[in-house]
Amino acid sequence: MKKKTPTGTVLYTIEQTIKEYRKICQKNIQKIVSDITVDQCLVLIILNDNSNISQIEMARLIFKDNASVTRIIELMVKKDYLLREENELDKRKSKLVITEKGLHTIDLLTPVFNLNRKTALDGLSAEEIEQLDRILHKIILNCKTS
């Protein structure tokens, strides 16, 4: 049995799991596209699925604060992954559009995303994955309701 220390808790293990997963994701992304990060990929994927998403909702989905998402988007505009188009109805807002380079990057990296998930979940049965998902959602709910 594992020794119980502050870093020997299941919550520490969850944090370590996330960090290791992000490391392997970044390593595999860099093999294909050298100038993009995991978070920038998430922005592309989310925008590709929902072009009208707000920046606040984007921040919530990628677990970042609004200022961090603003910096990520600015970098992506500079790197030509995204364009900002003026909102005709509200001049204070702009719409983000994925460029050809961004769309090509999504195409290039889709197999990498699938490989990353497959690698991380290797050896787990469908039942184990479902059980883990249920347990993690219980932890999330516990934290939100306390």
Distance of CA 11 to the CA centre of its chain: 20
The per-residue pLDDT for 111 is 97
Token pair, residue 40, equals: 């920038």
Instruction: Kindly tell me if the per-residue pLDDT of 81 is higher than 80.
Output: yes
Instruction: Kindly tell me if the per-residue pLDDT of 2 is higher than 60.
Output: no
User: What does the pLDDT look like over 17-50, one tens digit per residue?
Assistant: 999 999 999 999 999 999 999 999 999 999 999 9
> What's the longest Cα–Cα distance across the chain?
62
CA distances from 129 to 9, 11, 114, 124 (A): 20, 18, 16, 6
Please give the model's pTM, rounded to 2 decimal places. Answer: 0.85
Token pair, residue 44, equals: 């592309």
Instruction: Kindly tell me if the per-residue pLDDT of 136 is higher than 80.
Output: yes
Do 81 and 30 contact (CB within 8 A), yes or no?
no
User: What does the pLDDT look like over 42-68, one tens digit per residue?
Assistant: 999 999 999 989 889 999 999 999 999
